[in-house]
Amino acid sequence: MQKFQLTVTSRTGTGRSASRRLRKAEKIPAILYGKHTSPETLAVAAPEFVKLLKEISGRAALIELKRDAGTTALSFLQEVQRDPITDKYLHLDLQEVKENEKMIISVRLSVIGEAYGVKTEGGILETASHRLRIRCLPKDLPAFIEVDITELKVGETIHISELKPLPGVEYMDDKNQAVVICVAPPEEEVVATPDAAAAPAAGAAAAPAAGAAGAAAPAAGAAGAAAAPAAGAKPGAAPAAGAKPAAAPAKK
């Protein structure tokens, strides 16, 4: 069990105004909760806390608080509040623990290996639980909860009940809760491009149009055929006009 140290000072002022004054002085308001003691209001130097977080680097860790009065307390970070705009630390919640008492703490999940389903079957790995709650003594606190996914195939799931047992550690979440899942890759959809889809349609439309124009040609020919007899009817009408000379002998 690795311990980290953090210097804290007592503070008397509470409320928004007092917290603003602390932040302007590069200090972070904090509170220490204890199972056997009353909550204690504290202040933490912001640069020292930022340095501590870098050292912890996401691990579950115990922090030894060094008070200005010379006393110490063992604790862990319960909650860290940050400003969503400036990203500055606004408030810290610390939970005091005892060496001989079990505690409940949330520990981050650490995935180890490359899943068979991802490497060989083209599957996609999904982490269903990023943190798990455990109960243990401070000396048994693991930095991470490791999950080996090497044998995980497509369609398979690792549940809490299948995690490797850790000495002195009890999982508090539902045993059937999914931790890591390997899902099948999404099916590819074939979508026709606009040019490819339009080409047959244009060709199909052009063929009937051309045929329609060709069908119009006989109609034009039919009109020509009908016009020919009409034009030839004039010579047939000439004798009718020449009937007058035939009447001349009748006068003699």
Residues ≥6 apart with Cβ < 8 Å to 110: 144, 145, 146, 147
Percent of all residues in the chain with a pLDDT value above 70, rounded to a whole number: 74
Q: 93 and 109, same structural domain?
A: no
Rounded CA separation 77/96 (Å): 9
Q: 107 and 93, same structural domain?
A: no
User: Is pTM beyond 0.75 here?
Assistant: no
Q: 85 and 117, same structural domain?
A: no
Q: 91 and 14, same structural domain?
A: yes
Rounded CA separation 119/116 (Å): 5
On whether the CB atoms of residues 35 and 101 are closer than 8 A, the answer is yes
Rounded CA separation 33/88 (Å): 23
The tens digit of pLDDT for each residue in 175-219 reads 999 999 999 988 776 666 666 555 555 444 444 444 444 444 444
Q: Tell me if 179 is assigned to some domain.
A: yes
